Structure 1
Amino acid sequence: MNLFVFGLGYTALQFIHLQGHRFTSICGTVRSIEKAKALGAAGIQTCRFDGKDFDHAILQHLEHTEALLISAPPAEGQDPVLEQFSEALAHAPRLRWVGYLSTVGVYGDAGGAWVDESTPPNPATARARRRIEAERKWLELGASASFAVQIFRLAGIYGPGRNALVKIADGTAKRIVKPGQVFNRIHTEDIAQVLMASMDKPSRNAIYNVTDDEPGPPQDVIAYAAELLGQEPPPEIPFEEADQTPMARAFYEDNKRIRNTRIKSELGVRLRYPTFRDGLQRLFQAGEAPSARKH
């Protein structure tokens, strides 16, 4: 199977690292020449696409693509991939699976209640509204095409190099407490297995929540990471007193618990890391944040 990826960011590269052996060929887009060189040195084929200008070799690759993963976020007012390539995709002769990586942020705030894929989206931010619009356009394209489009609404992503253990180690961890607040999260290995399960069993216009089994307070994740590393956790900071960027504060405006039943019942996925404790334990065992262990 030939895979093409729009947006070779952290999540897509983790997917390739874990599941690349399943594909005959892999190519993806980057925005900069520097990243193209770095990935080329690692054996990953790339084409340049900055949202507007693109390497015309992309069109040649799409002629042979069977699985297409879209990890590039929507730009202001438009989805850059659809804006530039919708015609090419509609006529791609071998394409059978399209996966669009979205976010559980499209549900907005539920006051801590449980939501699932049948819950109407209620995005609270401009970024989330753009995601919903991009989802709608991808599903619209898939409704009249020969390939199946799937939407994957991802919870907070963590994995190698990007997790609470690393934050403890580099001193950036904050234990911010907002009473009643919970976040949802997912390990990159479980994202990868969900995507592969969907490729093995495409379902036209399906939407999947990709999250673990245990929404929880963010301060508990930091405290557990510190415990694994044998350190005292950073002091608790009331949310009202925390020094955060506007984007970081915006995450606390949404409070919901995400159900993941569909990835289990329809795709047969059994999560490798059903809780953040399982995921952090495995990352710790794999040697994450070794510098922190010396303190």
Structure 2
Amino acid sequence: MEAIRTSSLSLRFRAARPAAAATSESQANRMFVFGYGFVGRYVSERLKTEGWQVSGTCTSAVKKRQLEDVGLEAFMFDVNKDELKGLYSLQDATHLLISIPPIPGIGDPLVCLHEDLRSTLSCGNLQWLCYLSSTSVYGDCGGAWVDEDYPVNPKRESAKARFSAEKGWLDLGHDLGVAAYVFRLGGIYGPGRSALDTIISPTAMSEKQKMRNSRRYTARVHVADIYQAIKASFDVPYSGRIYNVVDDEPAPRAEVFAYAQDLIQRKGTGLSGEIDDGDLASFGTNQVEGYTGGGEKRVSNARLKKELGVELFYPTYRSGLQSISDSWTCRDSHQPR
């Protein structure tokens, strides 16, 4: 696949009414989230506390009950067999967040529903949509600094599917006449999902985690900074824009885990854990069978700061992990808040 300049995805960059300015009361803002995962739930819970009406999808009855227990409206939704008409609050949404990853062999599971989405959302309520993509679309850039206009060259099928989905969602936003954005996220971490939690966990690293151990550079972003980027985009009067949502310091996993290990040791009472010797040995090597090398790149967040005015809460992995460590009071307290 030849490298493609991502600016081609922004050809429809145009003026648009700021999404949040359409209503004078926050109560009138209605967010629908496709995919109540780690990011989707974090964003939804915080919007709920600000007076938003929030609803979204999940894939199990257990998850549905958990979401309803914290006051979120949840629909069980299987994109392969369920119809959009069952999501009765979707047509009332003023904001739409898409946080469903590609499915191997299928791609974006919602792409096939774009005609139905266009029909459902064409009633005029929707003002803003955002697709959460990944920095994996850039592929291997040899460690170069990359911004949103850098030619993308995805190698893995999942990255190719994400890049294709980016165009699909921007096109849908254009057709609906709403503000549409793509956020290319780095590795997501936060309370309950971090290097600290991996070390504390009684289970060994997964093969997928080990596959990333040899990379010199890994872009990361704290979930709280994803949330503030989403909020900032509500007030930007343009559409069709792509943003890298990452912190300031791409760093190797070995360095991050060493710092996390030190935080745990300094925490002392009630906390214990260390990286397995076999996992430590995998840092800096390609020991996983079939692994052909990571996408080496350093991802720039300059556009995020300049255009959205975002000042990162956690500009480095150190500040982010320190915040998570500070929130722990005992062995069982490292849970998402």
What is the TM-score of this pair, normalised by structure 2? 0.78
Quote the offset at 1:266 in angstroms: 0.5
- Say if 1:289 and 1:77 are closer, same or farther in 2 by CA, change over 3 A: farther
Match of 2:175 among 129, 137, 144: 144
Decide which moves more: 118-127 or 233-242.
233-242
CA–CA distance in structure 2, aligned partners of residues 121 and 288 of structure 1: 43
Q: Secondary structure at the match of 2:313?
A: coil
Partner letter of residue 32 of structure 1?
A: S
2:128 paired residue number: 97
- Say if 1:140 and 1:122 are closer, same or farther in 2 by CA, change over 3 A: same
2:31 paired residue number: 3
Match of 1:195 among 230, 235, 242: 230
1:184 paired residue number: 219
Quote the offset at 1:63 in angstroms: 2.1
Quote the offset at 1:224 in angstroms: 0.2
Quote the offset at 1:140 in angstroms: 1.4
Q: Secondary structure at the match of 2:295?
A: coil
Partner letter of residue 164 of structure 1?
A: A
1:269 aligns with 2:307: no
CA–CA distance in structure 2, aligned partners of residues 144 and 55 of structure 1: 21
What is the TM-score of this pair, normalised by structure 1? 0.88
How far does the alpha carbon of each residue in 1:159-183 deviate from its partner, in whole angstroms, 9 at most, with x for none?
A: 01110111111253689863x7111
How far does the alpha carbon of each residue in 1:247-270 deviate from its partner, in whole angstroms, 9 at most, with x for none?
A: xx46x4211000001111011000
Match of 2:109 among 67, 70, 80: 80
1:68 aligns with 2:68: no
Structure 1 segment 103-252 matched on structure 2, within 5 A: 103-171=134-202, 172=204, 178=214, 181-230=216-265, 234=275, 235=277, 236-238=280-282, 244=288, 249=291, 252=293
Are the equivalent residues in 2 in contact too, given 1:168–1:292 (CA < 8 A)? no
Quote the offset at 1:242 in angstroms: 6.3
- Say if 1:81 and 1:274 are closer, same or farther in 2 by CA, change over 3 A: same
Decide which moves more: 201-210 or 71-80.
71-80
Runs in 1 of length 4+ with deviation above 4 angstroms? 55-59, 173-177, 238-246
2:328 paired residue number: 287
Q: Secondary structure at the match of 2:265?
A: coil
- Say if 1:22 and 1:54 are closer, same or farther in 2 by CA, change over 3 A: farther
Number of aligned positions between the proteins: 289
Q: Secondary structure at the match of 1:255?
A: coil
Quote the offset at 1:289 in angstroms: 7.4
Partner letter of residue 256 of structure 1?
A: K
CA–CA distance in structure 1, aligned partners of residues 45 and 245 of structure 2: 19
- Say if 1:16 and 1:137 are closer, same or farther in 2 by CA, change over 3 A: same
Decide which moves more: 144-153 or 212-221.
144-153
Quote the offset at 1:74 in angstroms: 2.7
CA–CA distance in structure 2, aligned partners of residues 110 and 227 of structure 1: 31
- Say if 1:90 and 1:64 are closer, same or farther in 2 by CA, change over 3 A: closer
CA–CA distance in structure 2, aligned partners of residues 2 and 73 of structure 1: 23
- Say if 1:57 and 1:86 are closer, same or farther in 2 by CA, change over 3 A: closer
- Say if 1:242 and 1:108 are closer, same or farther in 2 by CA, change over 3 A: closer
Decide which moves more: 42-51 or 273-282.
42-51
CA–CA distance in structure 2, aligned partners of residues 102 and 212 of structure 1: 16
Percent identity among equivalent residues?
Answer: 36
- Say if 1:151 and 1:288 are closer, same or farther in 2 by CA, change over 3 A: farther
How far does the alpha carbon of each residue in 1:51-91 deviate from its partner, in whole angstroms, 9 at most, with x for none?
A: 12336555531221000000012333443223223333551
How far does the alpha carbon of each residue in 1:129-174 deviate from its partner, in whole angstroms, 9 at most, with x for none?
A: 0011111111111222221110000000000111011111125368
Are the equivalent residues in 1 in contact too, given 2:253–2:283 (CA < 8 A)? no
Decide which moves more: 14-23 or 138-147.
14-23
How far does the alpha carbon of each residue in 1:227-255 deviate from its partner, in whole angstroms, 9 at most, with x for none?
A: 11117964541558666486xx46x4211
CA–CA distance in structure 1, aligned partners of residues 87 and 127 of structure 2: 16
Partner letter of residue 280 of structure 1?
A: L
CA–CA distance in structure 1, aligned partners of residues 123 and 306 of structure 2: 31
Quote the offset at 1:37 in angstroms: 1.9
Partner letter of residue 253 of structure 2?
A: P
Are the equivalent residues in 1 in contact too, given 2:245–2:304 (CA < 8 A)? yes
